[in-house]
Structure 1
Amino acid sequence: MLAAEARSALGARATYRQLVDLIARGRAPADDMLLMRLEQLRERVPEAVRIACARSLALVDAPLPLVTAFVNDTPDVAAAALRAVRLDAADWEVLLPRLGPVGRSALRHRRDLPPSVERALESFGGADFRLGYAPAAVETASRDGAGGTRFDVADLVERIAAHQRDGDEPIRPLASFRFETDAAGVIRWLDAVPRGAVIGLTLDHRAGIWAGAAVDGVASGAFRKRAPFSGARLRVPGGSAIAGEWRIAGVPMFDQATGTFTGMRGQARRPRADERAERAVERDHAAGAEGLRRLVHELRTPTNAIAGFSELIEQQLLGPVAAPYRDRASDIRRRVTDLIGAIEDLDLAARIDGHALERRGGVTPAAALLQRIADDLAPLAALRGAELALPAARDAGWSVSPHDAERLIARLLSAALSAAAPGERLTMTLVGGVGTLALALEPPAAFASRDEASLFALDDEEASRDEGAPLLGIGFAFRLVRNLATELGGRFVIAPGLFTLLLPAVEDGVTGHATGGAT
C-alpha cells in the first residue's frame, strides 16, 4: 500500500481513500506509520475528497486514532467526521477534550451520543456560544484601563447567570447575518451565532456541500465568475436560530496589492412573504413533470408501431419488397430507434423531476457491464472512427441494480463517444474509494477544455452537428446523467480532462471487495 503510485493527483486521491478505507475497516493498523502517510497525502488531496472520506466513517466503526486524524484536519473535514463517526463512551470521553468550539458545535447537533458525552458537552456551558467572547472583553477592558468600558468579575458572573436563566427560552430565529468566504468559496466567518451550521458551507457546487444545506446556482455561478450576486437562495438545516431559508447577496474581494481574488463578502436576510413561493413552484413543477410523462406515453405507442412496421418491411416478413423500399424502411427503423431512445430519456427525466423514479435494488459487476455497453456502442464507435478503452477486468461492482447502472453509464459513454474524433481513444479507469467505486473517463478533445456549466448548456443545435449525437442534445444527456447519478446515491463530476462517475460500491458479496485501488 505505501509503495502505491501516488505521484499523480489521481493516484494521491486513490491512495488516500484506500488507506482510510483499510484503517477504518480494521484491515490495516492505525499505527504511526500509516497515519503519517495520511498526513503526508493530505496536502495533495482536495478538501472535498477528505470530507467525503470523513462522511464515510458513518458506515464503519473507525478506530480512535483515525478519527483523531480527521479531527486535526480543517474545520470542514473535522465537522464532517464528527457528524458521522460512531464511538463508544470511553473513546468519546478521550476525544472530547481535544476538540475546539467548532468540533463541539458539530457534536451538539447529534442526538445519538451517550448520556455521559452529552453531560460532558453541557459542562462547557456558554464557552462555545455568545459568552465565549466575554473573557476576551474582560482582558481588553483591563488593558485599556479607564479609557474603555470596564468589565469586572461580578459583571461576568451576572452574564453567565443570565445565560443559564435564558437557556430554556424558545429559539428566536435570526433576521440577518454577514459572512465572508475564502478564495475556494468556503464560508470562514460570519457575525452571528450559532456558527457551526454555516461555517464550512461552500458557494462552489463543484466542491461539494454539507448534507441538507445548499446554495443555488446563482451564488455558485457568480462565485466561479468572480462576480457580484443578489437574491440567491441559501438553506441551512437544523433547528437552531440560524436554520431555515435565506436570501443572500455578495461581492468579490481582491487583494489591493496583487489583484488576487481572496473570496466573497456578503450578507443574508430572511425571504419576504412574496418570495416564499417555493411550495407552489414545486407543485407546478411536479404537475409539469406529470404532464410530460403523459405526453411521453402518448408518443411511445405510435413510435413503437412505426418501428415494428418498418422492421416487417425491411425483413420482408409480409412478402417480397423491392430493394429501394427495404433500404428506406431500414433508414426509418434506425431513425425511429433513435426517437424511441429520446422518448425514454424524456420519460426518465420526467420521473426524476417528479420524484417518481422507481429505485431497484441489486448488484452490478462493473467489468461485465462495461463490456456489454461497449459491445452495444461498437457501431457508434465505428461511425466516429474512435475507440472505447475498457479498464482491466477486476472483481468490483456497484451496489446499484443492473438496469439502473446500464442506463446511466450507457448514456454517459454514448454522449462522450458521439463527440469523439477519428482515431481518438477514450480511456476508462475504475477507482475504488471509501464506499464508492468511481468510473473515470478521459473525455474526447471536443469536451476536454469545457467546464461543467458550458457542457450542461450545450443546446440541441450545437450538439446535432455531430453525427451520432444524442437526439435531445449533449447538454440534455449530461444533465440527465448528473440527475440520475444523484438519484442512485452517487455523483457525476466534470473536471478539466476528466469525467468521474461515483456510485455506491459493493463491499462484500458476489463481486468480492469492490473498494480496491485503480487498475
Structure 2
Amino acid sequence: MASVKSLSGRIKSAPLVQLLSADLAPVASAAVAGANLSDEEWAAIIPNLPIRARGFLRNRKDLGPKTMRALRYWSSADFALPRPAAEESQPHSLDSPIIDTAAKASIVSGSTEKVRIGEIVERIERLRKDREEKASGNAPIAAPPRIAESEGEITEIRFETDDMGTFCWVEGAPRGAIVGIGIAEPAFDDSPGPDAYGAAAFRQRMPLENARMRLCGGPAIEGEWRITATPFFDNISGRFCGYRGILRRPNVAESPQIQAPAKQGEQLQQLVHELRTPLGAIIGFSEIIEQQLFGPVSAEYRHLAHDIVQDAKRLLSGFDDLAMAAKIESGRYDAGSGVTECGWLAHRLAERLHGLSETLSVTLNLAKADPVRPFAIDSNLAERLFSRLLSAIMIGCEAGEELSGRFYTERGHHIVNKFTLSLPLKLQELSEEELLGSIPSEQDDNQSAPLLGLGFSLRLVRNLARNVDGDLRFQKKSLLLMLPAGLETDLQFRGKEKD
C-alpha cells in the first residue's frame, strides 16, 4: 500500500491498475485513486475490474464520458442485492430477473408486494460482508484467499513471473510472502530463491523441471520447494514474458532423511564396534603366522606376528574400556550380579600383573585382613576394575619402588569392603584434578599398561565403582576404593569380625 501511494499520479499502466485493484481494499483504493489513465483506458478495463474497484472509481471527479457510460452500464449489476433463498423458489411479478427491480416496480405502481426497509438494509449489510470475505468472480486475476498460519502447511502454489523472473501473481498462498521473490539469481545463505540449475534455466529461457526453491516467511510456506515451470512469449512479437508454473513440496524420495544426531556415547560405541572387526581379523591372521598353521615360517616373521598379536590385544582392551565408559555415561551399563572372593581376586591380580611388575622393577604387595567378606560384584568386573587401577598406578612408579595394597571389611550401618593402595612418590605430589586429567605418557608403552593412560583409567575405575554403589577417593598418599560387601555369609563372618 505504501508503494502504491508513493506512485500516486504516475501509474499509467492499465494492466497494472487492473492487477492492483484485485488486491486488498486499501491497496485497490490507493491504486484506483492514484492511477493516471485516459478515458478510453478506463472504459476498456471497467468490465474486468472487481465490483469494489468500480465503486472506488465512482468517487473520482475527473472521469470522462466513456468511463461514466461504462460505469452506468455496470451499475445494475454492482448495486443488485442477492436474492434470498426463500424468494428464489417463488415467481416474481413484472418478469424481472433482479429482485431489486421488482421491488422498485412494486413501490412505483402500487403493487400489493411490499418490501420492508429493514429487510433491504439487512440484505445490503449481508452483501457487504460477503464481498469482504470473498473476491469477485468478474476479474480474471482474483485476490487469493488469505491463509492463516493455523490452517497448516501449504503444499502447492501456482504462480506467474514477469520477464525479470519476479513473482507477480500467485494462487494458493499469501501474496505478500511470495510476490517480489525472483528466480533469476540462485539463493545464498538463508535468502529465498532457486538453486543454480533453476537460475541457469531462467537465463537460457528453458523449462524448469523439479528445480529446488527455498521460500522464507511464515511457517505455512517456509522451507524447501520444487519448482516446475515453462516460459511463455508474446504471440505477436515473440518477446519473452516470463514463466508460469507450480511450486510443490518435495516428496519423501526427494527429501534427505537426516536422522537426529546420536549422543556422544552412542557414537563412541558404534566406532568401537566398527574397529573391533578389522582388529579381530588382524589377530587371527597373526596367530596363523605365529603358530605356523599353514606351513613353516621364519623366526623373524613369527616374532613380528607375536608383537602384532600383543599390540592388537592391547588395543582390544582399550576398546573395551572405551565401550564400557560410553555405556556408563549413557546409563546403559549393567554390572550384573555375582560374588568375588578376595583370596581368588588377589591371586588372579598377582598372576596378571607379574609381567608388568618385572618390566618396571616394581614390587606389588597385596594383603587381606582376616576375616574379609567377598565382594558383592561379578568376578569379571572385579578383575577388570582392580587390574585397571593397579596397572595405572604401577606405570607411575620409579624403578625399585614398592606398592602396598590391603583388602579389609568395615562394619557399620552399611558393611563395605575397602581397598587401600599406596601412591608412588611422583603421584603423591599431584592433586586429584591432576591425577584424573593426566594423559598417557611416553613410558606407557608396556603391553600390560593401560592404553589410555592414568587419568582415563582412574575415571573409569571411579565410574565403575559408583555404578555398583561404591566409590574411589583420593587421600594424601594413597587411594581408597570402596565396594559393596556380600551379606549372604554374614553369620560365618560375624563372630570373627567381633573378635
State the TM-score, normalizing by the size of structure 1: 0.43
Higher RCO by CA contacts (8 Å cutoff, separation 6 or greater):
1
State the TM-score, normalizing by the size of structure 2: 0.44
- Greater CA radius of gyration, 1 or 2? 2
